[in-house]
Structure 1
Amino acid sequence: MDINQLVRKNVQQLTPYQSARRIGGNGDVWLNANEYPIAPHFELTQQTLNRYPEPQPEQVLDRYAQYAGVMSEQLIVSRGADEAIELLMRAFCEPQQDSILYCPPTYGMYQVSAETLGIKTKTVPTNAQWQLDLEGIKNNLDTVKLIYVCSPNNPTGNLINPEDIKTLLTMAKDQALVVIDEAYIEFSPQASVVTWLANYPHLVILRTLSKAFALAGLRCGFTIANKPVIDALQKVIAPYPLAVPVADIAAQALSKEGINNMKLHVLNMNNQKQKFAAALAQLPIVEQVYPSASNYLCVKFQDGKDVFNRLWNQGIILRDQSKSTGINNMTRITIGTQAECEAVISALSAIN
C-alpha cells in the first residue's frame, strides 16, 4: 500500500521548514540557530506530573503581562511562537479562500504553516534596504486576512521602520490583522510596538522565551493582542499547550531575578556582537557586515560557499542565507561566547 496516496495533496507537495537541527552538522561551535550560547540553570519546583497542567498557566501569564506592560487578558501562551503563527491562521483564515501576506526575506514558518493548512500565500519582497514595500502590499491586500512582519527581521537582523508599520496598520484596518513578530525584540527593546495596542485593535505581537531568555529548548511563546483576538485563539488552541515543567521554568524565568538575568545576557550579547562585527570587518575575505538589531549578524563573504564548507568541516556550524536573502555569499552567524567568536575569527583568518 502506498501510504503517500492518503496524504493530503498540499502536504505531498510541501517543502518542510529547514530548521538548523534538520540541516544537521557535527561540530563544537553551533552558531546557526540564533540560540543563546550558555544554558541557564533551573530546578523544577512542581511535581504534579500526575495531573494535567493549567490550560493557560496563571503565574506565567501574570508575570509575562507585568513584564510586557499589558493585561493578562491580552495574552495567550503557546508552544513557542511557531504555534502562535499557526493558531492565527486557524482562527482567522478560511482554507482555499483567504490569504496571508509576508515580505521575504523573512522567517520561513509563515509560508510553511499556511501551506500546511491549505491557506493561500502572497509575498511582497522588501526593498533593497530590507524595508516594507508599502505600495506593493497595498496592491496585494485582496483576500488577505493576516500580514506577518518580523522586526527585528530574521534572517537580515534589521528593524522595520516604525512609521511604515503604522502606515501598514492604517492600510489594513477593517480588513486584516497585522502580526509583528518580535522574537528578537529584547535585543532592541525600544523598537517594540506593544504600546500601540490601544490604538490598533487589529495589531498582534508575537514573543518568545527562546532567544534572549536562553530557553529555546523550553518551547514557550506568547501572543499579545486585544481581547477579541485572544478570545478567538482560545477557541483553537490545544487544551494543555504547556507541560507542567515548561510552565514551572517559564514562571521562574519571568520572575524579577529571571528578567534581570535576561537583561544582563542581552547587555553582554550586544557588547559581544559589536566586538565580533568589528573583527569580521577587518578580514580581507569579508565584503560586508550588515547592521543587526538582533543576536546574529549577516555577513557577505567573497566566497560564502567556500567559507561555509571550510568552517563546517572544522566543526563550526553557520547558516548559509544566500538563497533566502537573494544575495550570493551571504552567511548568518549567531553571536556566541567570546571563545566561539574568536574561533570563528581564527578559522576565517586561516582562509586568508
Structure 2
Amino acid sequence: MSITLLARKQVQALTPYQSARRIGGQGHIWLNANEAAECGTYELDCTRLNRYPECQPPQVVNAYAAYAGVSPEQLLVTRGGDEGIELLIRTFCEPGQDNIVICSPTYGMYAISAETNGVGIIDVPLNAKRQPDVDAIIDKLDNTKLIFLCSPNNPTGDLVDSSDLCRLLDAARDRALVVVDEAYIEFCPEFSQARLLADYPQLVIIRTLSKAFGLAGLRCGFTLATPEVIGLLLKVIPPYPIPEPVAQIAAQALNEQGLALMHTRVAEINQLKHTLGEHLRAHPQVQDVFAANGNYLLVRFSQGAALFARMAKAGIILRDFANRPGLADCIRITIGTQTEMDAVLEVLQQEQ
C-alpha cells in the first residue's frame, strides 16, 4: 500500500500553493515574489538561544501595536501573514461544514489553507471594476465564517472600497468575520482599513514585515483584531511561534531607525513604480497597467507568453498570471532596484 493513501483525503487531492520559490527559474534578476531589493542590517544577541522564546514577544507586540495604532491586546504576532490566515480558518471554521469566501483573482493561500483544513471555498469573483461583489458575498453568508479581501489585492493591486467594506461588515455582524489582508498597505497607508477596528468587532486585519520592511525571509506577520478574537487565536497558535532571532530583528525593524528605513524604502519603490508605469503605458505591446498600490505592477501585454519568455532569456524572472481568471497575457513585475528596472525596460525596447 502506498504511504500516500494514509494521508487525509484533502491532502491527497491538494495542489500546493505555487510560491515563487517553488516555481523557480533561471536568472539573475528576481522580480517574481514581491520582495524588497534589500533588507538593511541588524544585530543579533545569541546569549538567549538556549531558552524557549516568548509566545508573544512583548518588545515586538508593543512596537507593532504602537506603529499600527492599536492596543497590544488587539495584536497577535505570527509566522508571516500566512500563519494568521491559517489560524483564523482553524479557529473559526468547522471542517466539512463551514466555508470561506474568496474573491478571485486574489492571493492563493486563502484557498490552500481552507483546503488543507477541510473547509469549503466559495469563490465570488471580483466584479467588472475589480472590486468585491458585496451583494453576491452577502448572499453567500450562510455557513460562511470568514470572508477574505486583499487590499491592495495581489495580483491586481486594487484597493477595497471603504463604503462597500462597511456595508459588508454590517451584513456580516454576528455571522462571519471579514478579513482584510493588508500585506502591501505601507505603499499606500492612507487606505488602511485598520481605523474601522474600533467600530466593527467582526473585522480582522492581516499585516506583515515581508514587503515594505524588506524582511520576507524573517517570516513575521501580524493579526489585528478585537481582544476577543486574539484570545481565541491564542488558544490555537503553537506555544513557541516566534523564534528569538526573529523577535530581535523584528523589534529593530520597528524602532525609530527601522521605521525611517522602511519609509525611505517605500518612497524609493513608489517612485520607481511610477516611472516604470509611465514607460509601460507608452509601450505599443502594453494593453493595460493595473492599479499601482503595491510594490509591483500587473501588466497585460498583447503577447504575454512571448514577453515572459524574452525576459527569462535575459535572466529576468517575472510572475506569469495568464492562467488566472480574467488575467490572460498578464505578467506581474516586482519593483526592484533602478538597475533592475532599467534591465526590464531594455528588454521591452528591443521589440519596438
What is the TM-score when the length of structure 2 is the normalising length? 0.98
Partner of 2:183: 183
Q: Deviations over 1:247-303 (max 9, x none)?
A: 000000000111111011111111110001111122221122122111100111110
Which AA in structure 2 matches 1:339?
T
Work out the CA distance in 1 between the residues paired with 2:196 and 2:327: 34
Q: How many residues were matched structurally?
A: 352
Check the 8 A contact 2:212/2:266 in 1, yes or no.
Answer: yes
Q: Find the residue that maps to 2:195 and give its secondary structure.
A: helix
1:22 deviates by 0.4
Partner of 1:200: 200
Structure 1 ranges of 4+ moved more than 6 A: none
1:351 deviates by 2.5
Unaligned stretches of 5+ in structure 2? Answer: none
Partner of 2:154: 154
Q: Deviations over 1:69-96 (max 9, x none)?
A: 1100100101000000000011111100
Work out the CA distance in 2 between the residues paired with 1:328 and 1:223: 33
Q: Equivalent residues in 2 for 1:13-162 (5 A)?
A: 13-162=13-162
Check the 8 A contact 2:286/2:301 in 1, yes or no.
Answer: yes
Check the 8 A contact 1:155/1:298 in 2, yes or no.
Answer: yes
Which AA in structure 2 matches 1:24?
G
Per mean C-alpha deviation after superposition, the further-off stretch among 128-137 and 172-181 is: 128-137
Unaligned stretches of 5+ in structure 1? Answer: none
Per mean C-alpha deviation after superposition, the further-off stretch among 264-273 and 322-331 is: 322-331
Work out the CA distance in 2 between the residues paired with 1:113 and 1:287: 34
Work out the CA distance in 2 between the residues paired with 1:168 and 1:123: 16
Work out the CA distance in 2 between the residues paired with 1:188 and 1:39: 20
Partner of 2:165: 165
Check the 8 A contact 1:87/1:236 in 2, yes or no.
Answer: yes
Partner of 2:259: 259
Identity among equivalent pairs (%): 55
Tell me whether 1:219 sits opposite 2:229 in the alignment: no
Check the 8 A contact 1:75/1:224 in 2, yes or no.
Answer: yes
Work out the CA distance in 1 between the residues paired with 2:112 and 2:328: 24
Which AA in structure 1 matches 2:91?
A
Which AA in structure 1 matches 2:76?
I
1:45 deviates by 2.8
Which AA in structure 2 matches 1:253?
A
Work out the CA distance in 2 between the residues paired with 1:341 and 1:72: 39
Check the 8 A contact 1:37/1:336 in 2, yes or no.
Answer: yes
Partner of 1:308: 308
Q: Find the residue that maps to 1:149 and give its secondary structure.
A: strand
Q: Find the residue that maps to 1:323 and give its secondary structure.
A: coil
Which AA in structure 1 matches 2:179?
V
1:46 deviates by 4.4
Work out the CA distance in 1 between the residues paired with 2:342 and 2:131: 32
Q: CA RMSD in A?
A: 0.9
1:132 deviates by 1.2
Partner of 1:321: 321
Work out the CA distance in 2 between the residues paired with 1:273 and 1:193: 23
Work out the CA distance in 2 between the residues paired with 1:39 and 1:71: 27
Q: Find the residue that maps to 1:207 and give its secondary structure.
A: strand
1:348 deviates by 1.3
Q: Find the residue that maps to 2:111 and give its secondary structure.
A: helix
Work out the CA distance in 2 between the residues paired with 1:291 and 1:179: 21
Partner of 1:281: 281
Work out the CA distance in 2 between the residues paired with 1:312 and 1:223: 36
Work out the CA distance in 2 between the residues paired with 1:65 and 1:160: 23
Partner of 1:232: 232
Work out the CA distance in 1 between the residues paired with 2:312 and 2:19: 16
Which AA in structure 2 matches 1:74?
Q
1:327 deviates by 2.5
Per mean C-alpha deviation after superposition, the further-off stretch among 326-335 and 75-84 is: 326-335
Which AA in structure 1 matches 2:351?
I
Work out the CA distance in 2 between the residues paired with 1:339 and 1:325: 32
1:39 deviates by 2.8
Work out the CA distance in 2 between the residues paired with 1:248 and 1:325: 41
Which AA in structure 2 matches 1:167?
R
Which AA in structure 1 matches 2:161?
N
Check the 8 A contact 1:46/1:248 in 2, yes or no.
Answer: no
1:325 deviates by 4.1
Tell me whether 1:348 sits opposite 2:348 in the alignment: yes
Work out the CA distance in 1 between the residues paired with 2:52 and 2:60: 16
Check the 8 A contact 1:185/1:192 in 2, yes or no.
Answer: yes
Which AA in structure 2 matches 1:77?
V
Check the 8 A contact 2:27/2:312 in 1, yes or no.
Answer: yes
Work out the CA distance in 1 between the residues paired with 2:325 and 2:301: 14
Check the 8 A contact 1:322/1:330 in 2, yes or no.
Answer: yes
Q: Deviations over 1:174-227 (max 9, x none)?
A: 100000000000001011111111110111000000000000000000000000
Work out the CA distance in 2 between the residues paired with 1:298 and 1:309: 16
